[in-house]
Each structure stands twice: as structure tokens, then as C-alpha cells.
């Protein structure tokens, strides 16, 4: 091979080496998080850490608040005296012991145009709900904590847990 062949070979090798070297983007440290910003993902804790504890219970909110990247989600239900409570279902009998304490409290309402029968927070003053405890709303989860925790008022959830909050008000009309 002549001089020009050797020069082409060296030039080709250099070009190949330049192509294989990492570019300027690779020199920057990549984020471990695959989010658009590269920051840790925000966790919206619906009912707190409700995978273990009953949804909307005190320990569920406390556990979720211990994660600095979380926001609390509270499904707001109003009582007869206008106090907001956090409950995962508009029908209290689906997630609390209300039917045990008030066995004759079952009523029927039209909620957003749909007839629903059960126990509803709008029928009780907040003081009446003091002894009502939470149950797991998803039956495949552990029942170990059923009946262990009382209802959480919205004001307590906002002041005590010191985490950003999402207040979800679902029912536009209850008649």
C-alpha cells in the first residue's frame, strides 16, 4: 500500500474513532428519573398510603406525608353541619362502620342524576360521626386495620400532615 493508501487508512480510522466517541450530550450526567424534567416523580397519594392502611385514614396520610415528593388526595364529603371529611366513597357504608352505629340511617338520594341507596355524610353532624371508623374499601386488601381509625376532617388533613393537598369534590348535586 502506498502513501496515499496509508493516509486514507489513518484518516478513516480517525473518522471511525470520532464517530464512536461519546458526544457532548453523553458528557452530561443523565437523570435516574425518566420524567420530562428529570426530577423525581410527584406522587399523588389518593387517600394517603391506602395500599396498606384504610383509604383516608390518619396513618395512611401520615405515611404518605413522610415522602417529600407526595401530595395528599382527599375525596371531600360534607356533613350536615358543613364539616368536610375525607372518605373514598360517597356511600359511607362502603368504607366505614356507619351502618353498625346507625342501622336505621339508610336513605336514597339522587346523586348527579343517579339513584343511590346507603348511608350519606350529609345526614349526620360531624359530632355524630366521632365513633365511626374506617374500613378497607377494596376487599382484596388486608382487613387487619378495619375499625381501627376514625374519620379525618379536611382541616386536619391540611394542617397536620404538612403536604400539598388535592381536594376532590365529586358530587355536583345530591337531592
Give the C-alpha separation, 121 to 27, whole Å: 58
Q: Residue 56's pLDDT is what?
A: 93
Pick among 1.10.4080.10, 3.40.50.300, 1.20.970.10, 3.20.20.190: CATH of 42-168: 3.20.20.190
**Global pTM value:** 0.74
| Domain range list for the chain | 42-168
Q: Residue 13's pLDDT is what?
A: 57
What is the per-residue pLDDT across 88-125, written as a single tens digit (0 to 9) for each?
999 999 999 999 999 999 999 998 889 999 999 999 99
Low pLDDT (below 50) residues in the chain:
25-27
Q: Residue 9's pLDDT is what?
A: 62
Contact (Cβ atoms closer than 8 angstroms) between residue 85 and residue 154? yes
Q: Residue 85's pLDDT is what?
A: 97
Give the C-alpha separation, 90 to 81, whole Å: 17
**Cell for 105?**
340511617
Amino acid at each position: 500500500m502506498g502513501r496515499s493508501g496509508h493516509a486514507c487508512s489513518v484518516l478513516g480510522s480517525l473518522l471511525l474513532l470520532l464517530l464512536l466517541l461519546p458526544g457532548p450530550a453523553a458528557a452530561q450526567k443523565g437523570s435516574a428519573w425518566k420524567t420530562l424534567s428529570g426530577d423525581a416523580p410527584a406522587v399523588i397519594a389518593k387517600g394517603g398510603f391506602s395500599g396498606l392502611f384504610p383509604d383516608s385514614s390518619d396513618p395512611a396520610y401520615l405515611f404518605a406525608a413522610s415522602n417529600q415528593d407526595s401530595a395528599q388526595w382527599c375525596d371531600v364529603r360534607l356533613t350536615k353541619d358543613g364539616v368536610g371529611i375525607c372518605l373514598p366513597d360517597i356511600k359511607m357504608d362502603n368504607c366505614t362502620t356507619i351502618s353498625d352505629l346507625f342501622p336505621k340511617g339508610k336513605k336514597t338520594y339522587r346523586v348527579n342524576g343517579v339513584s343511590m341507596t346507603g348511608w350519606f355524610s350529609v345526614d349526620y353532624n360531624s359530632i355524630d360521626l366521632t365513633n365511626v371508623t374506617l374500613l378497607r374499601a377494596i376487599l382484596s386488601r388486608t382487613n387487619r386495620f378495619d375499625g381501627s381509625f376514625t374519620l379525618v376532617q379536611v382541616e386536619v388533613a391540611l394542617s397536620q400532615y404538612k403536604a400539598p393537598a388535592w381536594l376532590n369534590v365529586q358530587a355536583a348535586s345530591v337531592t
